[in-house]
Amino acid sequence: MVDVPLTKKGIEEAIEAGKRISNIPVDIIYTSVLIRAQMTAMLALTQHRCNKVPIIMHNESEQAKLWSQIYSEDTKKQSIPVVTAWQLNERMYGELQGLNKQEIAERYGKRQVHEWRRSYNVSPPNGESLEICSQRAVAYFREHVSTGICIFSNILDWNEMPCVQILINISSEGIARTFLCMRF
C-alpha cells in the first residue's frame, strides 16, 4: 500500500469511469486517504454533470474539522463533500510492501505468496489478512456510510448496489472468488 499517485493509464481510467457515472446523482464521496484513491474521485468528478466542486472534509483532528467547515449555504449547495478515511485504505501487505511479485516469490515461494493473497485469514508478515482488512472497512461503512444512506439519498441506492451487500455478507469461503466493490 505504498502511497503512489495514479499512472497515466490510471488517470485515463478515472476519467473514463467518471464519464460512465456522470448521470448518477452524488451528494457525498467516501475515499481512502491514499492519493491514488483521492485522485480517482477528483478526476471522475470532473466528468460529472453536476458541475459541483469537491471539497475534502478533514476529520483527522478537531482543528482540521474546524478548518474545513463550510458556513455558507450557497457554497454547500455548489460542493460535494469528500470524506477520507484510513479505514477505507486497501489491504496493508506489511513487509511485502514495495516489493514486486518476483521478489516476493523468490523470498517466500510462490505457494506462500498465493496463500497470503488468496486466503481470507492468513496475513503476510506484519500485514493484514483479507479478514482484518474487510473488518475495518465494513466497520467504517456501517458506522459512517450506511447511516448516511438515510441522510443523503444519493450516496447509494442500496437495491442497485449488490456488491455492497456482498461485501457486508461475504463469507471466508467466498473471498477468493468475490469481487469487492470498495475501490473508488
Binding residues for substrate: 36, 90-93, 101, 117-118
Residue 118: closest CA among 131, 127, 108, 109: 131
Report CA torsion sign: 164, 165, 168, 169: negative
CA–CA distance, 70 with 55 (Å, rounded to integer) = 9
Please give the annotated binding residues, written as ranges.
36, 90-93, 101, 117-118
CB 15 within 8 A of CB 46: yes
C-alpha cell of 174?
Answer: 467466498
Amino acid identity of residue 142, one-letter, is: R
Residue 29: closest CA among 20, 13, 18, 16: 18
Burial 88-110 (b: 16+ CB within 10 A, else e): bbbbbbeebeeeeeeebeeebee
